[in-house]
Chain A
Amino acid sequence: IAGITQAPTSQILAAGRRMTLRCTQDMRHNAMYWYRQDLGLGLRLIHYSNTAGTTGKGEVPDGYSVSRANTDDFPLTLASAVPSQTSVYFCASSEGETGELFFGEGSRLTVL
């Protein structure tokens, strides 16, 4: 089934640990995004990538890094997790011209 796959779906980890959230799409979309969703704040953009080999910072990039080695994969890394990074993380992609985003199922991360 075409779409976006995120892993893990849920994770609890201790503060200070390193964590990578995986995102893979099979729609051959050029643009990919990572958002975090927090109650009362909606979705905020963490990082984006317009095409393979390029990345950029969104609204709330601090504490996160991304890479885009190929079109399909866009992992998000927390180098040293902190409790304020407890959130639901959504990966998304778009064709880049229509503005419509296609979202993954989300990854619920709890940092203790």
Chain B
Amino acid sequence: AQSVSQHNHHVILSEAASLELGCNYSYGGTVNLFWYVQYPGQHLQLLLKYFSGDPLVKGIKGFEAEFIKSKFSFNLRKPSVQWSDTAEYFCAEEVFSGGYNKLIFGAGTRLAVHP
């Protein structure tokens, strides 16, 4: 069965530090990949997505992610984090199974940014 692994469950950074959150997916074929963000007390919202083309994807709020097919990875990066980036981040893979498309989510990474 397809799965998505996020390696870090909790990350603590100081403002202006660089961020990289790991994500590995399991499906070996054509994949659609996503990063969602959930700010405290809010619902999930899309940060960025990759369907095809340039493997370096830019999203909102200065985030980017790189799709590396040979490593089955889709890591999220930001060069300089802000306190407002404190949130939980979910990597997701779209799969077609049982006659429907669905998103498989990773367990999430909680990021705390200290001033």
Residues in A lying within 8 Å of B, measured CB to CB: 31, 33, 35, 40-45, 48, 50, 56, 58, 90, 96, 98-101, 103-106
B29 proximal to A (CB < 8 A): no
The segment from B12-20, B65-73, B75-83, B104-112 that touches chain A is B104-112
From A98, A99, A100, A103, residue with most partner B Cβ within 10 Å: A99
Q: Given A42-B90, A42-B106, are A48 and B46 also a contact pair (CB < 8 Å)?
A: no
Q: Given A45-B102, A96-B101, are A103 and B44 also a contact pair (CB < 8 Å)?
A: yes
Task: Please state if A58 and B46 are interface contacts (CB–CB under 8 Å).
Answer: no
Task: Please state if B43 and A56 are interface contacts (CB–CB under 8 Å).
Answer: no
Tell me the bound Cα distance from A90 to B90 in angstroms: 14
Please tell me which one of the listed residues B32, B98, B105 contacts residue A43 in the complex, with CB atoms under 8 A apart. B105
Residues of B within 8 A of A98 (CB): 49, 51
Task: Please state if B9 and A104 are interface contacts (CB–CB under 8 Å).
Answer: no
Q: Given A43-B90, A56-B98, A56-B99, are A99 and B32 also a contact pair (CB < 8 Å)?
A: yes
User: Given A58-B102, A101-B36, A103-B43, list of 18 further CB < 8 A pairs?
Assistant: A31-B101, A35-B105, A40-B9, A42-B105, A42-B108, A43-B90, A43-B105, A44-B105, A48-B102, A56-B98, A56-B99, A56-B100, A99-B94, A99-B101, A100-B34, A101-B46, A101-B103, A103-B44
